[in-house]
Amino acid sequence: MTINKTLMGAVATIALTAGTAFAEPGLIIDLGGKFDKSFNESAYNGAQRWVEETGGDYSETELANEAQREQTMRRMAERGANPVVVLGFANASTLEVVAPDYPDTEFVIVDMVVDQPNVKSVVFAEHQGSYLVGMMAAMASETGTVSFIGGMDVPLISKFACGYAQGVKAANPDANVIVNMTGTTPTAWNDPVKGAELTRSQISQGSDVVFAAAGGTGIGVLQAAADAGILSIGVDSNQNYLHPGQVLTSMVKRVDNAVYDAFTKGAAGELETGISVMGLDNNGVGFAMDDNNADLVTPEMVAAVEEAKAKIIAGEIEVHDFTTDGSCPAY
């Protein structure tokens, strides 16, 4: 196995050395579907923006199951793709193994940290953006009960939930926050039926605003909320358009910018490895406003969240990050 890996790495090195000028970037899309209207689709949109602006091309592979992770990374590196952008925290352990075998290939992982000299890790301050939409949820709620539905039960998704709950409590200390996760396996990212079921259960408990951070599962959440006449909050991409006048806002996570930036800097030979954090201070996360939700968001809401945003950036408000200690002070 060691010999094979060494040979594969050598082949990739030769290919890149011989034709670096012709190297095209690569994009590995995680489970859940390219057109999930959320995380994956945002990444795809960033890649397409790069194509439209540069006329360039890139390699793309959409994962269909867990077993494809390592094979896909190796094949893309061996074909000479550079940089190779890998989406999703679930790919981190595989990239830890693969990256050292292709030292002349630059990898970018979005949503997790991989400590290798040829890897750039892009992570987001999801708790900060979630805090802001949590404030909006509390201010829009008429029942005093709001809720959250996550996809796979992992610390990253609890980071969303905890930030959201802190924002809710900041706007209304007496509010009730219901938190549910869809499941414990990757199928939790693409189960809109289960998402709808959880939404209806939360509504029966009094929730009138629900925030979904669940990939494709969130489509079922937003649909069930719209059917029941309550408000929802989208995630990652701006999902306000899915149900105009019924999606309060979306906690946007600029995965598109992360991919676009990786492709652009990779092509220019300017990609820097290490850790990059996208938060409120660099517009890496935020809340979406457009014609689809303009009538739902009051000037008071906007003023409150803009003030909180400024204070978070200035360090005057510290939003607890669930991933630092596995606890949440708001629930």
- Tell me the pLDDT tens digit for each residue of 34-87: 998 899 999 999 999 999 999 999 999 999 999 999 999 999 999 999 999 999
Q: How confident is the model at residue 1 (pLDDT cuts 50, 70, 90)?
A: very low
Percentage of the chain surpassing pLDDT 90?
A: 91
Domain assignment of residue 156, yes or no: yes
Model-level pTM greater than 0.85? yes
Which one has a higher pLDDT value, 275 or 1? Answer: 275
Residue 330 lies in a domain: no
Residues 151 and 36 in one domain: no
210 vs 19 pLDDT, higher one:
210
What value does the mean pLDDT take over residues 5-13? 38
CA distance 151 to 181: 6
pLDDT at 23: 84
199, 118: one domain: no
In a domain, 154, yes or no: yes
Location of structure tokens 């939700």: 293
pLDDT, averaged across the chain: 93
| 164-190: pLDDT as tens digits | 999 999 999 999 999 999 999 999 999
* Per-residue pLDDT, 32: 84
Q: Are residues 21 and 100 in the same domain?
A: yes
**In which domain, by residue range, is 82 found?**
2-124+256-282
Q: Are residues 196 and 74 in the same domain?
A: no
290 belongs to a structural domain: no
Beta-carbon neighbour count of residue 51 at 10 Å? 13
C-alpha 157/C-alpha 150 separation (Å) is 6
- Is 293 contained in some domain? no
Amino acid at 61: T
Q: Are residues 117 and 157 in the same domain?
A: no
Residue 134 lies in a domain: yes
Residue 287 belongs to a domain: no
CB atoms within 10 A of CB 312: 21
Is residue 292, in this structure, part of any structural domain at all? no
Q: What is the pLDDT of residues 234-264, one digit of tens each?
A: 999 999 999 999 999 999 999 999 999 999 9
pLDDT number for residue 33: 84
Q: Rounded distance, CA 162 to CA 157, Å?
A: 9
Whole-number Å distance between alpha carbons of 243 and 249? 11
Residues 8 and 115 in one domain: yes
In the predicted model, is pLDDT for residue 31 greater than 50?
yes
Question: Computed over its alpha carbons, how large is the radius of gyration of the chain?
Answer: 20
> Does residue 313 register a pLDDT over 80?
yes
Three-state secondary-structure class, residue 14: helix
**Same-domain status, 88 and 138:** no
231 and 191 co-located in one domain: yes
Q: Are residues 230 and 108 in the same domain?
A: no
Same domain flag for 48 and 195: no
Q: Supply the CATH number for residue 26's domain.
A: 3.40.50.2300
Residue 134 has pLDDT above 50, yes or no: yes
pLDDT of residue 135: 98
Residues 235 and 267 placed together within one structural domain of the fold? no
pLDDT at 3 exceeding the cut of 60: no
12 pLDDT band, cuts 50/70/90, is: very low
In this structure, are 307 and 181 located in the same domain?
Answer: yes
Please state the domain count of the chain: 2
CB 232 within 8 A of CB 243: yes
